[in-house]
Structure 1
Amino acid sequence: MSLETVIAGLVSACNALTDTVNKKISLIDQRVAAATEQVPAAVRAEVNKMLYVDSSSGVDTNSGLTPDKPLKTIAAAVNRVMLCGSATIFLRRGKVYEVGRGLGGTNVDNMSILFVPYGTEASKPIVRGALVRFSDSNTYVCGGFSAFTEMSIKFTDCRIETGLANGVSQYGPDYGGLFSRDGGLGESVSFKLFFHKCEVVVQDVPLFSTYYGFIQLSLAQTTISKGGTQSTIVNVGVPKMVDISSVSIVGFGAGATLDNLLTLAPGSYTARQVYTTISA
């Protein structure tokens, strides 16, 4: 075999190897590009969760990602929301959802959550505060939604019940509102609560409870009624920003005003009220 033939064979082999490598590189590039395109969608799905909850047919080990695989409790849904993440939690109509089972309530610290109904049932989903007992005493409090620093919660077309004492004499009416701070004395919580087309029933505990902090409360096309012993909607004098539009407040007695129902201390709030009625 001549030298020229050997060289030609080597060149041909090198060209074939180069072609194979180029094809592999192209395949790798395609797979990397496809994986890269999927990352933003996966991140968005994790940061902005969409979860379904049905207190009757749901199971907390379900994925909760589709109506046919719902979770059972709001707590299970909240536990799947990442820190500083947001979520839309769909609540099956006509069902009752208790929050706060366990000391400290359902922690929604640094979360932004929207609750909306789903299903064909006529009645609104009911979100209800549940009494819990401190492990070191006989004091019961309403263990609802809690946070260390801030929370942003929105409800659309839901019924909200703050919680009944159910005969318990020591239920801490000044501590443990449906939305409350978590931890010991000194935490300052920023509450952002929005209610749209809701029914809010203030029972034996107030809507809010915190020693320090700031409350931003927005109510639109919503009815607030008295359904227990609590005589105020918000019983703390922390600074507030209140926006109320097309709201009906009933059952708190003659002489009830926004100032006393929301504990609006002079100089510590900003309020806007339009198309709102207060009746005994």
Structure 2
Amino acid sequence: MKKLFAVLITLLTVTILSACGGDESGSADASDKDTIRFGATSGPYSDMVNKAIKPLLEEKGYEVTNKEFTDYVQPNKALANGDLDANLFQHKIFLESFAEEHGLDLSEVIIVPTAPMGIYSNTFEDIESIEKGSTMGVPNDPTNLARALIVLEEEGLVTIKDDVDPLRASLKDIKENKKDIEFVEVEAGQLPRLVDSEDLSMVPGNYALAAGMDLLNALALEDMPDDYRNRVAVKTEDLDKQFVKDIKEVVESEEFEKIIDEEFEGFGKPQWMKDKEE
């Protein structure tokens, strides 16, 4: 019996040690990733992953995959459930509201250059030539409409009531419409078409690029607040992991900015990148 008891104790000890060894190995694999699975919406931000982020991470020894999405729901759900390690497609306001609504624990890593909203026209060559009573397409969703009104105010076309938060302004909050512009509200994705049917159209950058428009042809481009610029996001529990630090490092690199300048003309740079250039 004593021999049998000794054998059982030995087997139990080996099993416990093996289990502990397996846990340590799993932790090492989790923290020392060699593959990073990105997700991005199809278009300019998927291009940014493929042309700028992926090659720089591969120089660090990572294998990088990028899954393209056609909606704004699945990239965050895929990130939260572990199908992705990082995504790039959303601004701060969307990230925070989506995470809260769906009970997800996601965090931003770094803000990236973002295609700005612009005023486009086939009727007028510049802001000064806009005539009174002109028609303009604007987004009908609250977030993009507020952005549009900020641009219009910066260009001296409207003024917003003093007691209104510019980030939440709507058409009813216009105090002065200096050119008596007639606003036509439509879904943001339809705004490129209104460049032909209306005198002017306020088109978000991603939809302008998807429609084959040149950002540099805009009469004016948005100097957007960083809250509206897109950012790389990860699960909050991964923020301190090495692969996340390496993502941040490559986005902050001179090589990344050079690719942006060459391949993504017209994209507005975040404040941290502007500060670095000063």
| TMscore range, shorter length | 0.3 to 0.5
1 or 2 for the larger relative contact order (CA 8 Å, sep ≥6)? 2
Structure with the bigger percentage of helix: 2
Q: TM-score, normalised by structure 2?
A: 0.32
Give the number of the structure whose alpha-carbon radius of gyration is greater.
Answer: 1
Q: Which has the higher strand share?
A: 1
